[in-house]
Structure formats: C-alpha cells, structure tokens
Amino acid sequence: MGERVIFIDPITRIEGHLGLNAVVDTGNKVVKEAWAFSTMFRGFEIFLRGREPPDAIHLTSRICGVCAASHANASVKANDMALGAVPKPFGVVIRNLAWAVTDHIYDHPTHLNILAGPDYSGAVISKLTPSVYEEAKATKAENSDIHGFSTVGDLLDGLNPLEGKIYMLALKMQRLARQAGVLFYGTHPHPRTLIPGGIGATVTVDSLIQYSYRLTKLTAWVKMVVAVWEDIANFFNSIGYEKQGMTYEKPNLLSVGIFDDPETYSSLGESYEEIYGNVDDAGRKRFLKPGLILDGELVTDKLTDMNVGTVELVDRGFYQDWDTLFVQEDPLGNQVVWGREELAKYHPWNKTTIPNPVAQNWKEKYTWTGTVRYVWKDGRIRPIEVGPIARMWVQALHSGGKVRIDLPRTNGVSELPQGTWEPVTFEWNIPKVGASTTIERMRARAYNVALDVAAAWHFLLVGLDLAKKGSLETSRPWKRPSHAVGFGFDEAPRGSVRHWMVVENYRIKNYQVHAPTTANLSPKGRFGATGPYEQSVIGTAITEEVGPDEWTGLDLVRAIRSFDPCIACSVHIFVGNRRIEKLVTPMCTV
Amino acid sequence: MGVGNRLLGDDGVGSCFAEVLGSLINHEWLLVVDGGLGGLNLLDYFEGVELAYIVDAVQGEPGQVILYKVNPQVSREAIRMVAEYGSHGITPDILLAAAASLGYLPEAYVVGIAVKEVDLGENLSDEVVTASLKALRLLTRELGKRGFPMKVNEKAFLEGMFRCGGA
C-alpha cells in the first residue's frame, strides 16, 4: 500500500486561482489528507482604508469578474447601515430584480453547465470512467418530458464543451440574464447604479416589461436546468457517488438569506444604531430566510448573531497578526465574539489585513486565505460552509424540511423543448445522506436558481403594483457620520458574501470582506477543524478507471468545483498537471 | 477585437492595440473592442457582425506580423482543451467556432503579433510595439481592399502603444 500525491494548480474553469495538494492512499484509493490554497493576494481591505464609504461599492465589485454584483450588493448594504439610509420600497424592488438576474439566474446555469458541467460530460467521462459512460447510456432519463433527452448518457454528451446542446444553450441563455440586469444596473459585470440608500436607475413600466420578456425565457430555461441536473444527480448517486465530496457528517451551514422585503427594509431606520437594531427583522422577512446550522441544528436566524460570532484568524495564512481593536461591542450591546477577549481582535470589524508572504509550508502557512470560524454562545467553534446547499437547507428548515417552487407557464420559448413551456412544481428535500456532498451541491444549485426565478416573478409583480400607484421613487439621501459601523450580509450565487465596515469622519477606518470562498477555502487553524474545501476532498475516493500513475484527480476537482470557487482573479500561471513544475503559458489569451 | 492579458507582458499587445485604435477612430461600420481576457464572454460581440479581425499575440520570430483566416471548426482537441482547462485560454478558432454554433457567422481573421517576452509584468517589448504599427498597416490595407477605408494617425497610434506598453 502506498501513497500518491496529487498536486493540481491551478484548478481551472473556476473564477480565479486555487490549488490543491492531496495525499491519496493507493490501496483503497481514498484521500487521506488535503490542503487547498489560494495563490494570490487581493488587498482590497488595504486600499479601501481612508476612502469615502460609497467608493467601496464600486471598488469591491472588482473583486470578481463573474459575480461582481455580489460584492457591490454586500457593500451597498454595509453602506446603507453605516450611512443611515435605506431605499424606498420601489428601490428595494429594483435592487432585488436586478440582483436576481445578475448574478443569480445568470451565474448558476453558467456554473452548472459551462464551468462544472464538463467534469460530467461525455467527453471527459468516456475517457476517464468509461464504464460509467456505458451505464449512463443505458439509463433512461426520468425527466425527458421536460428536457427532451432520452438517456442520462445523452445528457452527459449535452455537456460537452462547444458542441453539446446544453452547454451551447447555457452560453446563449446567460446573455438574456445579463441584458435583464443591465436594464437596472446600467453595465455588466459591474453595476453602476447602486448607491447607499437606493439605486440610481430610472425605471419605467416599460423597463419592467422588457425584464418580464427575458424572465419568461429564462424561466423556461431554468425548468430545463433543474430537470437535467435532477437526472444527472440521481444517476451519480445511484452508482456510488453519494458520499463523494462530503464535508461534515453533521453539517455546519450558513445562509444569511436574500431578497429583502420592500416594506420592511425600507423602514429600518435613519442611523446605524437603528438599522442595526432592526436588521434581524429584515433578515427574517427576506424571500430566502437566513439561518446558521451548527452540527446539523439550526441555532439562529438572527443576522446580528451571525455578525457577532464570526472570526477570521491567520495562523495558516500569509498574514501577520495584529493588535487593533476598533469595536468591542455592537450597537445592541453585545460584546463581539460573545465577550471572548482573546478572540475579539479576530472579529472582522477589528481584523487588520497585514500581508506577510513566506514560503509555503503545509504544516504552517500555506495560503492567502484566513481561517474563518463561527463562535457560538455555548463555546462551540466551527468552520462554516456556504453556498446554494446552505441556502436550500436553511430554507427547508424554515418550511417543514422541504422547499416547494412553482414556476409559471412559459409558452412560445422557441429555443427550448416544449416540455419547458408547461407550469412546473419542483420540490427540494434535505438530502437523504444528511450532509453536503459533491452531487448534492450541484443539485441544490439547480433548485436554487428555480427559487431565484420565483423570487424575480414575485418582485416583478410587487414592482408593477407600486408603479401603478405611482410610487416610483427609489432612494433616500445618505448621511456623513463621524462614527459608524456597518455590515452588509447577502448571498452571492456561490454563498454568503459578507462585508464589514468601520467609519470614522466619513472615511473607511477598517473594511473586511468575506467572499463565499473565504469561508469555504478557509485553511486549517488552531481549533483543529478543517475548512469545507479540504474536508470535501478528504475521504473522497478516486473513481478513475486507470492506474495511479494516470490519475488526473477528476473526483477531487469535482468536489472542489461543486462549490463554484472564486479567488482573486489574476494572472493565470499554467502549471503541469500533477507535478510542481511551474511554467507560464506562452499564450494566455482570448 | 484585440485580446490578451496585459499582466503578462507582450501577451497584452492585442488588448492595447484595441484600446489605442478605438481612441483614434470612429466609423459607423466599425466596432473596436478591447476583449482582454473575456474568453467565451466575448461571443455576444459577434452577433450581427459580417467581418471580424482579431488582434492577438502569437508565437514566432519576435516582431513578426501574420494574418490567417480563422477556421471555426470544433475539433476534438478543442473540446478536450476546454473540458480540461476552461475557457480563459481558448484560441480565436475556438471562440469563432462557438460563435458559429450560436448562429453568428462572421468571416474572421487573426492578425497575429509574434511576442518576445510573456512573463509577469505590464510592459510591452519595443519589438512588439513596433510590430503593432505593421499590424495596423496590414489591417488598414485589408479593410481598404474590401471597401472600408480607415485612416489612422500613425504617430498618435505609436505613441499610444508605447504609453499602453509602459514606456
């Protein structure tokens, strides 16, 4: 029995730059230990210091070129709170409508079918796992009345890059979502119109109708996406993939919820203290509910709890420790990190980014990400996993263990099979395996986008109603406080995106960003637990039907890609497939 | 359309080319796009387009400029490449093949500028900046032959390229 190290850097078809080092037991073909790492420093927290708070909306948007609006939305909410201004109801509606299409309805199908989909495509599996391909060819696709493919093998061929029908449709349909978003954001990928206390877009009934035309087509498309991925997920689970990529046997999941209720959010208050004091109510009224699940149990749905207990340490990251303490108590009087003094400086209001690049050492520092952990009132400290599966899971716990999604009739969408024209009711259930796995993360993402479509229709009707009444004002003026704190918690397609801000004399004193990947890619740390990416790879078995020397790490990249990773988008350094032979690609273009 | 990665030295020449050219001319019949590292996100630009020139970095004798017609065929190799490495590193042939699959069928050419250094850094080598003028002349000639006269102030173009290349 031996060991084989699989070193994959970069993991491609993701946004940004991520590497993986895994040790596989060649006897049972299972991963024993893994280190996932980010290879680039981002630095936004540093150059935001001293700027006016609204600048952060547009600067942090540049953190990602795929889900740019995600950071802009988290930042605008941190600004709303800190600068004491919330939008008028129609402004909340327009923010929701834009946000639903770009990024969510645009991003999820892109990830499923273009970025992660090729891992399941006929082109890949016929080469690496030919027996699985044969079995797929012989397996009937249960949802063929919706998507029109007869066998699972046909679906997998449909995911072949550049020629598969599903892949090509995904390329085509993502465009409609971008067009719909630009109606309100002005530009894509970076929204131009988000401002503290509102959205600077002139919206008319005509723009809402243009939106609905595109949403109709996207609704039909999303029905197809769910039908396709339900069949693919069931097939892979049936051939023994059920536990592959499992993170925690008792899940630790966070969703902060998404899509604010127009009336509730627009009446949160006029100062950071008021808004902070009311924000838990706004969270509970979101279209998708917030929740924190520790060891499999929902412990809170309060956004302020999710704020107070969050820490980020740098034991294993290329950063220096610090001693700053900007905030000891939140506006409700809670001590940060529940009064645990030794951890207070690691709360994001206090965390100070000081880069300290040193040589990579698996036993010490090996990544540019920090160790994100959640500290609960009872003393438990857990890594937290975020993403569509967290969102669906939390939503299900708020609604009797399942999520029901009704999508309307969508006649006449000529690009898509007629089966997608009928009204459909989808139901997502907490996975039988009771945990987050590679396949269940993919399935949850497909259902999540159906929920996003339902949200878009809901807010479109609310918006038309407000427009009919002539309530077309969107924004309120923001203030220039001499001291304030704020947080903006939202859900990016790939998971909770959270921004924290400390303001002094209307300048940013401290700013911290937790992209979804900050939590998911968090490395090991002093509390002993392993972050979600690494945990998903540990215990995963190699299913490639070739000898160890020819393993490509397909099952490992599937596990990682199922999270939809996002790291600082940067220069691509092409590296040999498994060895640590680094070379720069000669032609890194188009 | 100029494409390339400006953080990788000469690889960014196409991107600079588009930025500088776009700042100097404006014709009803012409759209100049700095495609950067857009990959498959650039597909939308081909809708309704009849003729496309893609300015890109290529391998060869540094400073050499080549012109070739894009063959928009999806090869097995292309599929495997995108399946394994993703769409950021795709070639113009693959991009145009994908465009063709979506029903956008421009006649397309690559104007290739052979690079000297492709390494981390934001500078263009002098050879490549000088070659970009050759590429501009080639493009002007090709468009002229097809009845699209384009007149660019060469001095301003070259200055722009040097500026973009960090000189």
**Given pLDDT bands bounded at 50, 70 and 90, which one contains residue A10?**
low
In chain A the domains, ranked by start, together with CATH numbers, are 3-561 (1.10.645.10)
Check CB contact under 8 Å for B98 and A13. Answer: no
The CA-based angle A555-A558-A564, given to 5 degrees, is 160
Q: What is the pLDDT of residue A9?
A: 61
Strands (E), A70-197: 194-195
Candidate from A13, A118, A171 with C-beta closest to B43 = A171
CA distance A362 to A367: 9
CA distance A27 to B10: 47
Check CB contact under 8 Å for A162 and B119. Answer: no
**Given pLDDT bands bounded at 50, 70 and 90, which one contains residue B53?**
very high
Nearest CA-CA distance, residue B85 and chain A, Å: 5
Q: Give residue A508's region: left, alpha or beta (phi > 0; psi -120 to 50).
A: beta
Question: Chains A, B: CB contacts under 8 A, how many?
Answer: 105
CA distance A412 to A506: 52
Are A454 and A406 within 8 A, CB to CB? yes
- Which residue in chain B is spatially nearest to A176 when comparing CA positions? B44
Q: What is the pLDDT of residue B106?
A: 87
Are A410 and A420 within 8 A, CB to CB? yes
Express each pLDDT in A371-424 by its tens digit. Answer: 999 999 999 999 999 999 999 999 999 999 999 999 999 998 999 999 999 999
A43 by DSSP, 3-state: which?
coil
Tell me the C-alpha to C-alpha distance, in Å, between residue A189 and each of A61, A70, A107, A175: 9, 10, 11, 12
Are A64 and A494 within 8 A, CB to CB? no
The CA-based angle A288-A293-A296, given to 5 degrees, is 125
CA distance A195 to A581: 46
Tell me the C-alpha to C-alpha distance, in Å, between residue A187 and each of A98, A135, A192, A492: 11, 45, 6, 18
- Which residue in chain A is spatially nearest to B91 when comparing CA positions? A590
Strands A198-199 and A381-382: unpaired
- Which residue in chain B is spatially nearest to A16 when comparing CA positions? B88
Are A13 and A561 within 8 A, CB to CB? yes
Architecture of domain B2-164 in this structure: 3-Layer(aba) Sandwich (3.40)
Closest by CA position to B49, among listed B72, B81, B78, B83: B72
Greater model confidence, A579 or A47: A47
Nearest CA-CA distance, residue A590 and chain B, Å: 5
Task: Tell me A333's DSSP state.
Answer: S
Peptide bond into A189 cis (omega under 30): yes
CA distance A442 to A445: 5
What is the rounded average pLDDT of the residues A561-571? 60
For residue A287, is pLDDT > 90? yes
Tell me, rounded to whole angstroms, the distance of Cα B122 from its chain centroid.
17
The CA-based angle A197-A199-A203, given to 5 degrees, is 140
Nearest CA-CA distance, residue A221 and chain B, Å: 16
* Structure tokens, A305: 């709890």
What is the rounded average pLDDT of the residues A173-180? 93
Task: Tell me A419's DSSP state.
Answer: G
Check CB contact under 8 Å for A590 and B80. Answer: no
Phi, psi of A519 (to 5 degrees): -75, -45
Nearest CA-CA distance, residue A115 and chain B, Å: 7
Express each pLDDT in A524-550 by its tens digit. Answer: 988 888 999 999 999 999 999 988 888
Task: Tell me A348's DSSP state.
Answer: T
Provide the 10 A C-beta neighbour count for residue A466.
20
Burial of residue A550, with CB atoms counted within 10 A of its CB: 0-12 exposed, 13-18 middle, 19 or more buried = exposed
For chain A, the average pLDDT equals: 91
Those residues whose C-beta lies under 8 Å from the C-beta of residue A95, and which sit 6 or more positions away, are A73, A76, A87, A194, A199, A260
Helix (H) / strand (E) element for A185: namely helix A165-185
Tell me the C-alpha to C-alpha distance, in Å, between residue A180 and each of A36, A361, A421, B70: 36, 46, 20, 32
**Given pLDDT bands bounded at 50, 70 and 90, which one contains residue A577?**
very low
Q: Tell me, yes or no, if A589 comes closer than 8 A to chain B by beta carbon.
A: yes
Closest by CA position to B68, among listed B87, B91, B47, B89: B91
Express each pLDDT in A215-249 by its tens digit. Answer: 999 999 999 999 999 999 999 999 999 999 999 99
Give A574's contacts in chain B (Cβ within 8 Å): 89
CA torsion angle A394 A396 A401 A404 (round to 10)? -170
Interface with A, mutate which of B59, B75, B79, B123 (most A CBs under 10 A)? B79
| Distance between first and last Cα of chain B | 23
- Which residue in chain A is spatially nearest to B56 when comparing CA positions? A589
Check CB contact under 8 Å for B98 and A171. Answer: yes
Q: What is the pLDDT of residue B86?
A: 67
**Given pLDDT bands bounded at 50, 70 and 90, which one contains residue B87?**
low
Check CB contact under 8 Å for A590 and B7. Answer: no
A22 by DSSP, 3-state: which?
strand
What is the rounded average pLDDT of the residues A147-163? 95
Integer-rounded Cα radius of gyration of chain B: 15
Q: What is the pLDDT of residue B167?
A: 61
CA distance A456 to A410: 14
Give B102's contacts in chain A (Cβ within 8 Å): 168, 171-172
| Distance between first and last Cα of chain A | 44
Tell me, rounded to whole angstroms, the distance of Cα A339 from its chain centroid.
30
Give A160's contacts in chain B (Cβ within 8 Å): 79, 83
For residue A568, is pLDDT > 50? no
For residue A458, is pLDDT > 80? yes
CA distance A109 to A94: 22
* Structure tokens, A366: 């090996």
Check CB contact under 8 Å for B79 and A168. Answer: no
Domain boundary assignment for chain B: 2-164
ipTM of model: 0.74
CA distance B95 to B101: 10
Give B1's contacts in chain A (Cβ within 8 Å): none
Q: Tell me, yes or no, if B88 comes closer than 8 A to chain A by beta carbon.
A: yes
Give A590's contacts in chain B (Cβ within 8 Å): 3, 35, 37-39, 42, 54, 56, 89-92, 94-95
Those residues whose C-beta lies under 8 Å from the C-beta of residue B87, and which sit 6 or more positions away, are A13, A114, A161, B39, B40
Greater model confidence, A504 or B8: A504
- Which residue in chain B is spatially nearest to A111 when comparing CA positions? B86
- Which residue in chain A is spatially nearest to B86 when comparing CA positions? A13
Nearest CA-CA distance, residue A11 and chain B, Å: 8
